[in-house]
Amino acid sequence: MAALIERCIDDISLIAASILITLNIRDYKPSDFERLYEIDHLAFSEDIAYSKVELRLYLQSRRCRTFVAEEEDKVVGFAIARSESRKLGHLITIDVTPHRQRQSIGSRLLESAERWLWKNGAEAIYLETPVDDAGAKGFYEKHDYFLYETFEGYYNGTLDALVMMKTKGRSNI
């Protein structure tokens, strides 16, 4: 019984310590580029991760906004959202360093991106995710995204993508 109580106290201490570390979501700064590129290549395989040219294209686009998750002055993740015509929003990517995944960072980034897209007139938000990434599919389903269609060969002509979508009516805004 004493061992069980000791483990509970240790668990409570870990939870309390994690609460004290605050996660800040802010806009992208050019000085973040190398760290975002690094995170993208840690979070995704080389055949899916963005090249520097692709990443810069999104980061510099006037139709995109990049949200950066920072903890104790260390960038731990980011999301890129794009406001498109016809009342669509496109979630380009959500990247979180692998050792910080499943700690609500992705959810916070998604919430920030969605809020911006809804505010900018989106009636629906869509995204692509690899068909073999069950974790990502589950994450988006948890946030009320549904399977819209499948793109064959979306990733470098070899890997299919699930296109998932969320409509404003399904949102909690």
The model's pLDDT over 81-120, given as tens digits with 9 standing for 90+, comes to: 999 988 999 999 999 999 888 888 999 999 999 999 999 9
Please indicate whether residue 173 or residue 21 has the higher confidence score (pLDDT). 21
Q: Is the pLDDT confidence value at 23 over 60?
A: yes
CA distance 68 to 14: 25
Q: Give the integer Cα–Cα distance in Å for 116 and 153.
A: 30
Which superfamily does CATH assign the domain made up of 23-170 to? Answer: Gcn5-related N-acetyltransferase (GNAT) (3.40.630.30)
Residue 125 is given by DSSP the state: E
Its pTM stands at 0.84
pLDDT at position 20:
47
CA distance 16 to 164: 35
Residue 44's nearest CA partner among 94, 90, 114, 113 is: 94
Burial of 74 (0-12, 13-18, 19+ CB in 10 A): exposed
